[in-house]
Amino acid sequence: MYGAPLSIHAKKMMLLGSGELGKEVIIEAQRLGVETIAVDRYENAPAMQVAHRHYVINMLDPQQLREVIEREKPDVIVPEIEAIATSELVELEKEGYRVIPTANASRLTMDREGIRRLAAETLQVPTAKYAFADSLDELKQAVAEIGLPCVIKPIMSSSGKGQSVCRSEADIETSWSCAMEGGRAKKTRVIVEEFIRFESEITLLTVRSVSGTSFCQPIGHVQKDGDYIESWQPHRMSAEQLEESQRIAKKVTDELGGYGIYGVELFLGQDKVYFSEVSPRPHDTGLVTLVSQDLSEFALHVRAILGFPIPTIRLLTPGATHTLKAAEERIDYRIEGIAEALAVPNTQVRVFGKPETKIGRRMAVALSSADDVGKARERALEAAGALRIVYPGVEE
């Protein structure tokens, strides 16, 4: 029970992180009459453009984080990125604030070490072999232990930033510098992972709500340089693989607890399913659910957070997404080709409205549906191909 937004009985939701995923979360929250506050590290972030109000702070600074939370006193605090002072969220939760799904889930998934140790060591779910290193020397040792090729990532980063595949001893130094430059927080620690030659990889969206745990149909995806470029739903896999994936997802999400959606990332090997990582929030590859399901991952997240039931999740049609990424760092960019993209049948686009482009930054996505996944992927590819980022002064 709650009143109108901006009234004394309003239900207030504060989003920590205001990217393209948060923008959709806020739109869904507003559909249910919730008052929304967007927070991020820069002005005019996508979700700020649709929220009732916003704040620009350094979310890794515990003091600044506490200040904004105490000022607004939100009913629910919804982390949207990893890079937040999560130990402060743990404190705030103890003081009575509600963090989604739980402060501990955001603390453990904030860095790769927390969640990897929990999954592999405490819960004993299968993962790639791994080791950690704090310096170049330690990295050399870790690589020797794990073997080549291996994947090296900053313990705190997302969307593939700072990640590289190390194929020979000669690559170790480059991988180290790449991780140092790409990490979100100024932490030097890296994880070294055994390179898994998987057949495919999926995101299993897992929702914990008052109705219990529900799974969306598996989402297949392709990543390039550690960042997603294409996703589709449903991903075809064997009944055994699906059962094992759901078992792993249930085990991990039960441990993390709370209400909300989780994106469980899994690698499918020939006869083994590996847990990779988990987002305690909507997942980028899950953007496909905006066209494929009756309730998108964003709608599901909001329902679960507000304590409303989720009796069923329906896949309405096979669907696919394809991303549009920038190639330069500019504030005076324009996006062209939207009309051509929308001329592709059963297709929508989401233009995120980020205030500036950066090399490799995701700026928009094409979403398509069709009678089968193959056709949906073709359509999304065609539509994304029609979209162009134009930089003045550069040959158009």
Ligand X SMILES: Nc1ncnc2c1ncn2[C@@H]1O[C@H](COP(=O)(O)OP(=O)(O)OP(=O)(O)O)[C@@H](O)[C@H]1O
For residues 253 and 369, which CB has a smaller minimum distance to Mg ion in the complex? 253
Q: Which of ligand GAR, Mg ion, ligand X, none lies near 160, with the C-beta cut-off 5 to 8 A by kind? A: ligand X
Residues 11, 16, 22, 84: which binds ligand GAR (CB under 6 A)?
22
Residues 97-106: b if buried by 16+ CB within 10 A, e if exposed: bbbbbbbbbb
Active-site pick, 184, 281, 350, 362: 362
For residues 193 and 284, which CB has a smaller minimum distance to ligand GAR in the complex? 284
The closest of 45, 377, 53, 391 to 232, measured between CA atoms, is 377
Q: Determine if residue 193 is labeled as part of a ligand binding site.
A: yes
Cis previous bond, 234, omega within 30: yes
Active site residue 332: no
Q: Determine if residue 246 is labeled as part of a ligand binding site.
A: no
Q: Determine if residue 196 is labeled as part of a ligand binding site.
A: yes
Count residues contacting ligand X (CB under 6 A)?
A: 21
SS3 75: coil
Binding track over 260-279 against Mg ion, x by CB under 5 A: -----x--------------
Q: Which of Mg ion, ligand X, ligand GAR, none lies near 19, with the C-beta cut-off 5 to 8 A by kind? A: ligand GAR
Tokens of 80: 């949207």
Active site residue 265: yes
Q: Which distant-in-sequence residues (6+ apart) come within 8 Å of 352 by Cβ?
A: 19, 20, 23, 46, 362, 363, 364, 365
Region of residue 180 (left: phi > 0; alpha: psi -120 to 50; beta: else): alpha
Q: Determine if residue 162 is labeled as part of a ligand binding site.
A: yes
Binding track over 67-86 against ligand GAR, x by CB under 6 A: -------------xx-----
Active site residue 160: yes
Instruction: Report if residue 223 touches ligand X, rule: CB under 6 A.
Output: yes
Neighbours of 2 (CB within 10 A): 15
Cis previous bond, 149, omega within 30: yes
Residues 11, 19, 108, 369: which binds ligand GAR (CB under 6 A)?
19
Angle (CA) 337-341-347 rounded to 5° is 155
Residue 46 buriedness (CB in 10 A; 0-12 / 13-18 / 19+): buried
Tell how far CA 158 is from the center of its chain. 8
Residues 270-286: b if buried by 16+ CB within 10 A, e if exposed: eeebbbbbbbbbbbbbb
Active-site pick, 158, 245, 253, 276: 158
Binding residues for ligand X (CB under 6 A): 128, 151, 153, 157-160, 163, 193-196, 201, 223, 226-228, 265, 276-277, 284
Which residues define the annotated binding site? Answer: 20-21, 80, 112, 153, 158-163, 193-196, 201, 265, 277, 284, 354, 361-362
Catalytic residues: 158, 160, 265, 277, 284-285, 362
Binding residues for ligand GAR (CB under 6 A): 17, 19-22, 80-81, 158-159, 284, 354, 361-362
